[in-house]
Structure 1
Amino acid sequence: MGERREMKILVAFGFFLVAGILISGVAQADEPQKPPAKQTYVELLGKVKVNPLSEDDSDEYDEELVKAKCNKNGGPTAYDTAVQGLTNLQNTIESVINSTDNSIESDVSGDSSSEEEDEFKSICGSILILKGWTTLGVDAIKPCLDLEERQVVEILLNVSFPLIEFVCENDGSQLLGFFQTGGIECLEEKTEGIRACLHINSTFAESVESTESSEAITGSPSAIIPKPFDLPEFAVDQEDCSDLQTMQNCVVGQLNECAQRTPSNFINSIFNIIKKESGCAAVLKAHEALATNAL
């Protein structure tokens, strides 16, 4: 059950990350002096902590267990290499936050059309910088991980990086088009319907709730060894992929009721990327072929 729960969270991650960013942008509408997308982007990055061992609550973690795991899997230098890689990534995130935050006020010029284009171009430029440093951070920590955990990382990257490339295609034109065609308003209008789509499958709904409850109690995903040093195992199977397809149909169906189709097409493309890169597209295709041959 644990493997299926983590798989469900993974394959839905890309959609909820993007949807969460876009929905949270609505709250910025009453602050016209600050471009909403950039402000939301800065706030999101501010919540990212890739090196929990360096945080004030590091006493919740057993650093010696982390060191022992790194030493066992990658040798005596693996721990220091991992921590340095994560520190470099965290420093880059902070640098991007500062540079983006400092540019927010100067972006307000009154020329909303060119301002929006520049805004998304700037966001995507910094995302691509973070993508490169994320790769370096992952490479630094891989020696600490078990074989199964390394496979988890590969799947996460296989899903995340194509999503980034899609959203930031042509300097963020996909994301800009989403905003300009009422994507924010569409998501806000259909928020309740989208939430209902999560509960079509009870296992998925329960897994999300249990994960949120656990993190609320401990303040972190693990009270012993922190992620990314301790990752869940999971496998892609037909049931998980069918659940993802059902959720996609439900969410896209909700968004199809909005005034324009661009928002639903945008989110549908995100789901398709998740299915392809997680391996679900191939699993569903094989299952469909078997079902057809059985007739």
Structure 2
Amino acid sequence: MMWKTVLITIFAAGVLADDFSQITAVVTSQCTKNNAEDKVPEVEAALRTFGNCLKGLVDLNVLKTEIEEAKPNGALDEVFKKYCDKSAQLKGCISSVLQGVRPCVGNEYANHINDAQNSTNQLIDFVCYKDGDRIALFIAEGGPECFQQKTENLKTCFLNLKQSFPTVESANNLSLVEKCAKVDEMTSCIVKSLEECSTPTPANMAESLIKFMRKDSPCHTALPVSIV
């Protein structure tokens, strides 16, 4: 499920680009693989609608300017409150696109669309807790810079997990507990990498987010252990 969710995310990110040709190629390939060539226009339309929905909620260039202007004044919380007030609309956008790509993700993964929806809703709720106080603190405390500094370390964490699931068959051969243990290894790797930054906030925030999302996952009951 993890890699299908990543694929959906790639679809979603691509609709913000001016050149849609690469997304068309990916959609066509994915739909063809799942014997749904006739659904290509439908999925493309869903992705375009999603892109327009996002653009209507946030202009990334404007947001970046607002963040930079707010930093010296300690007004980041005001910036994120404005955008978190739109979280309900964002959830609606995401729900629509997840349903829209359903015809081309295959029957095995289509059954997990609701799980993906719940996960994204949890992420939005976490980020927008208390009108975005968490994300404001994360940026004020150098969170983005920390992630940038540790890019290679984080890539290694993800690569190690990917190597644990080289194929769908190999993933299916693992028990739920084994899968959860592999994911926990990755998340522990992420937190420990971020702990090397100059402030503890990025690592603390990442750990809090992971625990927040994990508590409503099957791993919470299958493998109730700390991630670090």
The aligned amino acid for 1:252 is V
1:67-117 superposed Cα distances (whole Å, 9 cap, x missing partner)? 97398xxxxxx887655544422221233355x545766777677335422
The alpha-carbon distance between structure 1 residues 283 and 104, as it changes in their structure 2 partners (threshold 3 A), is: closer
What pairs with 1:222-241 in structure 2 (closer than 5 Å)? 237-241=176-180
> 1:242: how far off?
0.6
Mapped partners of 2:159, 2:99: distance in 1: 36
Task: Report the number of matched residues.
Answer: 217
**Contact 2:94/2:117 (<8 A) preserved:** no
The aligned amino acid for 1:89 is F
What pairs with 1:250-289 in structure 2 (closer than 5 Å)? 250-285=189-224
The aligned amino acid for 1:267 is A
Structure 1 residue corresponding to 2:21, chosen from 50, 56, 65:
56
Structure 1 partner of 2:112 = 152
**Contact 1:201/1:243 (<8 A) preserved:** yes
Mapped partners of 1:80, 1:200: distance in 2: 36
Structure 2 partner of 1:122 = 82
**Contact 2:187/2:210 (<8 A) preserved:** yes
**Contact 1:186/1:258 (<8 A) preserved:** yes
Structure whose alpha-carbon radius of gyration is higher: 1
The alpha-carbon distance between structure 1 residues 276 and 108, as it changes in their structure 2 partners (threshold 3 A), is: closer
The aligned amino acid for 1:197 is C
Q: Is 1:176 equivalent to 2:130 in the alignment?
A: no
1:103-149 superposed Cα distances (whole Å, 9 cap, x missing partner)? 76677767733542233223434554222122133345546765423
The alpha-carbon distance between structure 1 residues 70 and 275, as it changes in their structure 2 partners (threshold 3 A), is: farther
The alpha-carbon distance between structure 1 residues 273 and 155, as it changes in their structure 2 partners (threshold 3 A), is: same
Mapped partners of 1:62, 1:192: distance in 2: 30
Q: TM (normalized to structure 1)?
A: 0.55
Mapped partners of 2:32, 2:159: distance in 1: 37
Structure 1 partner of 2:50 = 89
> 1:241: how far off?
1.1
Mapped partners of 1:202, 1:110: distance in 2: 38
The aligned amino acid for 1:49 is V
Q: Gaps spanning 5+ residues in structure 2: where?
A: none
Q: Gaps spanning 5+ residues in structure 1: where?
A: 1-5, 18-43, 72-77, 211-231, 289-295
1:256-289 superposed Cα distances (whole Å, 9 cap, x missing partner)? 344433221110122223433442222213xx8x
**Contact 2:191/2:203 (<8 A) preserved:** yes
Query: Match of 1:170, SS?
Result: coil
> 1:240: how far off?
1.9
Q: TM (normalized to structure 2)?
A: 0.67
Structure 2 partner of 1:69 = 36
1:222-261 superposed Cα distances (whole Å, 9 cap, x missing partner)? xxxxxxxxxx897672222111111222222233344433
| Percent of aligned positions that are identical | 21
